[in-house]
Chains A and B, each alone.
Chain A
Amino acid sequence: MNRSPYITDAPSVTCIMFKVLLALLPGIVAYAWVYGGGILATLTLATITAIAAEAALLKIRHRSLKPYLFDMSAVVTAWLLALSLPPLAPWWIVVVGIFFAVVIAKQLYGGIGYNPFNPAMVGYAVLLISFPLIMTKWPAPLSLAQVPLNFMDQLHYIFSQTLPDNVKVDAITSATPLDYLKTQLMLKKEVSEIMQAPLFSELRVTDSELITGSYLLGGLYLLQQRIISWHLPTTFLATLSMISLVFYIGNPTHFANPMFHLMNGASMLCAFFIITDPVSGPTTPRGKLYFAAGAGILTYLIRVYGGYPDGIAFAVLIMNMCVPLIDAMTQPRVFGHQNR
């Protein structure tokens, strides 16, 4: 029998997924610092739902539970989706999103390795289309909220949508910077004028920078561990910067600067954790460049011209559709062959 090679040296899938979770931790800490501990409840709920859904579907599909459940991929999906949701999203939003991500987008396509679309982004897109009001209503950062909720209040709100008697919903929510910019631009205001709002005060910028920087830190850890390659995050961030720079230079009164686009929304999370999903992404080095560039351009266009404040989920899903084509078109030149 010829079963060589007899030796291997590779991190297991579980190990890879575990490192991704580890890399998300700084971002989660920053998130909790800025928006309060409610996110921890959301993450826990998402994790439990994802594992339960994964286990149930594996059972139905007659797959062995142990290897597939312990590959941790469902937990990664759960965390990515949870971090994309508004911090105080009601519990059922989390459950519905996870259901679509794990059951529909992943298991019904054949489980890990077979999903053509990024599960977390499918879950997010379904929620955004179905419940746009909830999905675009972000609580203000604790530092800006008129009445900062404590952890118990946040838990209570997540699970029963009730606030302490003295607090009104309006007091804790605000538009996201991306959303605010968009609506204010529609009111024919200039960017520089909009940026004077308290939402963009120095303090607020520190908040978004903190979260963005934490994701970047985790991303660099993944690069260092060779879990992801430089192609995707670098190209995505570079493309997003370039396209926003071009628009910004063209009309600075109407378009935000590149830094704004890099620091806001889920740009950094997307660059290091979402487009780097290997299953639904391209595999060739050149393909990764095209994929990330496409995602960057689409993200910007949807942000600026689309109907939704952030365009990452749709950009990623659209690029997922192009993956088979990208892979086929970007096959590298094989050793000893003239052409690609």
Chain B
Amino acid sequence: MSAMIKFVRHFMQDKSTHNSLINLFKFNGGIHPPQHKSESTLKPIGQLQLPEKLTLPLRQHVGNMPKIKVQVGEHVLKGQMLAEAEGTISAAIHAPTSGFISAIDEQVIPHPSGLPDLCITLTPDGKETWAKLQSTDWRNTDKNQLVTHLRTSGIVGLGGATFPTHIKLRTNANVHTLIINAAECEPYITCDDMLMRERADEIIKGIHIMQYILGAKKCIIGIEDNKAEAIKAMTNACSGAEQSAIEVRVVPTLYPSGDARRLIHLLLGKEIPHDKRSTDDGIQVFNVATVLATYRFFAFGEPSISRIVTMTGNVASPQNFEVLFGTPLQSLVEAAGGAKLNTQHFVMGGPMMGFNLPNAQVPITKAANCIIATSPDLFAEPPQAMPCIRCARCADACPVNLQPQELYWFSKSNNFETARNYHLFDCIECGCCTYVCPSNIPLVQYYRYAKSEIIAADKSANAADLARERNEFRLARIEREKIERAQKHAERARQAKESKTAVSNDEAEQTIASSTFKEPTAIDNKAAINAAIARSEIKKLAAAAAGVMPRNIDNVSPSVQAEITAINELRKETIKSVDLKSPTK
């Protein structure tokens, strides 16, 4: 028995060895997938040749579509704004090089849906002529002005979330700690690693700007311990006296420690409440590449026109490249020595949360941190899914401490309300549950499905609520108007009566004949009209209550009537054919 307790204790100790790194607060679960990071870190960040055309989707960020400022045929300069941020949450789009706008139309964009969206196509003139850029003396500029200025930079979260950066830097939040997310926890991705190795000084300068704008006294850079060179470079860069407020903190390699809420917990031991933002607790998180882009914008006036992309997987020589936005994926693949013969498709993002790209022509966008060429050897087809055996390995792996097996059960049985009560919307879709599932159940897909169903249901419920509210308001208005009319009518009748008596009293006998004859008739007429209106209102109400609305096609010419009949016939046919196609339920 005692041996067993010792044995169990040994296990528990083993599980908690991650805590050995100083001042770290472990979250539940997490996984250790094979890293595959070394392949793409052998060479420094490479440059691409200018492609023949650049396709810039207008929607490269979270928020509103920006407003197009250019026309087809127009010549634009490198860094010139092509579309400006529209509304609060939006980001601008800039020309990655000088050239001509050759088209503004819908093209396939790198999105899981594979659907086309509005894009600006730019044909480079090869001259790379920069627009006039202006650096900002940020230390002597008002913070609000800096944020307003940043709105024209087109900078968004480059970790993949693509949330406009100027929104996150708005100074009304009382931020005391700035966290720089350099964990890069997902396998294969090395763009942040290489960026830190090669441009650590600029990153530190960017942190100064962000600290200034936010008023954040403290800054922690969180880096996973599998990036030794980056840690060294960053530690060196912030070793100066001025950098004392910046601390590089090494976190254990554990997916998904790069998730913002998990990273905050890891570094500060603070759980951001599910219904709050980190800024409510005085913490703001930025990806390391976003910091660099912000620095370059303020220091040199350079807008967001390129990013570092990891091109890895089934290509001849995996490498990181600085890629202009809009560059066709094919150019990037060729720069990495081309895809091997058995390449199936390309994944954007990492193997845990990425998605299949529709083809190799889609452009590189602000969200593209990594492209993986895949083959059956690299990412094998998952075996057939088996029933859940409730082994709860998924619950052990869940970084949010959810019960994925319960969420799966509820999602599968369309029991969405219960799934919501089991905190479905706290799921970050990191894929840890699927990674450890012995039954190969695509759990995350079930959660995405359940979430979208709930969101759709909520939307239609909201719409129904709105319609009901409007209808109730309309009925109340009709009722009110009816009462008002009746009151007015009564008032008039009273006035008429009074005036009649007044007339009979004041004007004496000579007017009696005419007034007694005329006035009552006028009043009677008005009363009759009002009564008719009221009757028709009541009829309308009754009809509305019975569900029969008066139709505006009752009194139309025969030709229009014939047209309506024809349309109705056609509609019936269509409904019939649809019925035949759809399987009977």
The chain A residues found within 8 Å of chain B, CB to CB, are 1-13, 15-16, 67-68, 71, 73, 110-114, 216, 220, 223, 230, 234, 237, 241, 278-279, 281, 283-284, 327, 331-338
> 22 A-B pairs, CB-CB below 8 angstroms?
A2-B355, A4-B349, A4-B351, A5-B431, A6-B354, A7-B34, A10-B435, A10-B438, A13-B386, A13-B438, A13-B439, A16-B391, A73-B389, A110-B387, A114-B387, A241-B1, A283-B392, A327-B406, A335-B28, A335-B261, A336-B274, A337-B274
A-contacting 9-mer, from B49-57, B393-401, B477-485: B393-401
Question: Is B356 part of the binding interface, using a Cβ–Cβ cutoff of 8 Å?
Answer: yes
Q: Return A47 CB to nearest CB of chain B, in Å.
A: 20
- Whether B351 and A67, one on each chain, are in contact in the complex, defined by CB atoms closer than 8 angstroms, is no
A3 to B436, CA, bound (A): 15
Q: Do B426 and A283 touch (CB < 8 A)? A: no
User: Cβ of B261 and Cβ of A5 under 8 Å apart?
Assistant: no
- Nearest chain A CB to B30 CB, angstrom units: 12
- CA of A187 to CA of B200, assembled, Å: 86
A3 with B390: CB separation less than 8 A: no
**Are B4 and A216 within 8 A (Cβ)?**
yes
Min CB–CB distance B312 → chain A (angstroms): 13
Instruction: Give the distance in Å from the alpha carbon of A96 to the alpha carbon of B409 in the complex.
Output: 32
The answer to whether A9 and B33 touch across the interface, beta carbons within 8 angstroms, is: yes
* The stretch of B201-209, B324-332, B376-384, B538-546 that contacts the partner chain: B376-384
Besides A113-B387, A338-B273, 8 other A-B contacts (C-beta < 8 A): A5-B434, A6-B379, A7-B187, A13-B389, A220-B7, A237-B4, A278-B390, A336-B273
| CB contact between B11 and one of A10, A223, A331, A336 (< 8 Å): that residue | A223
B453 vs chain A, min Cβ distance (A): 16
Q: If the complex has contacts A1-B355, A336-B261, are A67 and B384 also in contact, measured as CB distance less than 8 A?
A: yes
Which stretch from B82-90, B302-310, B442-450, B465-473 is at the chain A interface? Answer: B442-450
Q: How far is the CB of A233 from chain B (nearest CB, A)?
A: 8
The size of the chain B interface, using a CB distance under 8 A, is: 65
CB distance from A19 to the nearest CB of B (A): 11
Instruction: Please give, as numbers and ranges, the residues of chain B lying within 8 Å of A114 by CB-CB distance.
Output: 387
B419 at the interface (CB under 8 A from A): no
Contact of A6 among B12, B347, B393, B437 (CB under 8 A): B347
Establish whether residues B379 and A284, one from each chain, have CB atoms under 8 Å apart when the complex forms: no
A335 touches B438 (CB 8 A): no
A334 and B438 within 8 A (CB): no
Which B residue sits closest to A280, measured CB to CB? B390
B422 at the interface (CB under 8 A from A): yes
B63 CB to nearest chain A CB (Å):
21
Is B8 engaged at the interface, CB distance under 8 Å to the other chain?
A: yes
B390 near A113: Cβ-Cβ < 8 Å: yes
Instruction: Select one of A10, A12, A332 contacting B436, CB under 8 A.
Output: A10
Do B351 and A283 touch (CB < 8 A)?
no
Give the chain B neighbours of A6 by CB distance below 8 A: 347, 351-352, 354, 374, 379
Q: Check: B130 CB closer than 8 A to any chain A CB.
A: no
Q: State whether B384 touches A113 (Cβ < 8 A).
A: no
Q: Which residue of A lies closest to B33 (CB)?
A: A7
Roughly how many angstroms separate A241 CA and B426 CA in the complex, as a whole number? 41
Pairwise interchain contact A3-B274, C-beta atoms closer than 8 A: no
- Rounded to whole angstroms, the CA-CA distance of A13 and B27 in the bound complex is 27
Query: Is residue B250 within 8 Å, beta carbon to beta carbon, of the partner chain?
Result: no
Say whether, besides A15-B438, A216-B4, A279 and B403 are in contact (CB < 8 Å). Answer: no
The chain A residue with its CB closest to the CB of B355 is: A2
- Per the bound structure, the CA–CA distance linking A149 and B4 in Å amounts to 36
Given the interface contacts A4-B444, A113-B386, A335-B271, does A283 sit within 8 Å of B406 by beta carbon?
Answer: yes
B402 at the interface (CB under 8 A from A): yes
Q: Is B355 in contact with A234, judged by CB distance below 8 angstroms?
A: no
Contact A3 B33 (CB under 8 A): no
Q: Give complex CA distance A7, B33 in Å.
A: 8
CA distance A238 to B102 in the complex (A): 77
B440 at the interface (CB under 8 A from A): yes
Q: Which residue of B lies closest to A73 (CB)?
A: B389
| Closest chain A residue to B255, Cβ basis | A5
Closest chain A CB from B67 CB (angstroms)? 30
Which B residues lie within 8 Å of A334 (CB)? 274, 400-402, 423, 426
Residues of A within 8 A of B388 (CB): 113
B274 touches A111 (CB 8 A): no
The answer to whether B356 touches A237 (Cβ under 8 A) is no
> B294 contacts the other chain (Cβ, under 8 Å)?
no
Chain B residue nearest in CB terms to A12: B438
* Chain B, Cβ-Cβ closest to A334: B423
In-complex Cβ contact of A5 among B353, B374, B400, B402 (8 A)? B353
User: Are A332's CB and B4's CB within 8 A?
Assistant: no
Is B269 located at the chain interface by the 8 A CB criterion? no
- Whether B112 sits at the interface, judged by CB under 8 Å, is yes
With both beta carbons as reference points, the residue of chain A lying nearest to B448 in the complex is identified as A2
Q: In the complex the two chains form, what is the Cα distance from A334 to B33 in whole Å?
A: 24
Q: Check B8–A230 contact: CB distance below 8 A.
A: yes
